[in-house]
Amino acid sequence: MPYIQIDMLEGRSHKQIKKIVKDITEVMVQDANAKAEAVHIVVRESKTDHIAAAGILKSEM
């Protein structure tokens, strides 16, 4: 059972996330011979003031 975790900054619409998980599922079915019902995807969105790079919050970049 493929278990996929996606961490990204907030800001995508429900429609965009729906397409992302659909497309990733299709790739796993085609390229990894997984059954669609066995592909589990967790999408975690973080606020830009909760993620930093080089010591700078993304909200301040």
Q: Which residues are catalytic?
A: 2
SS3 state at 1:
coil
| Cα–Cα distance measured from residue 4 to residue 32, given in angstroms and rounded to the nearest whole number | 13
| Cα–Cα distance measured from residue 40 to residue 31, given in angstroms and rounded to the nearest whole number | 16
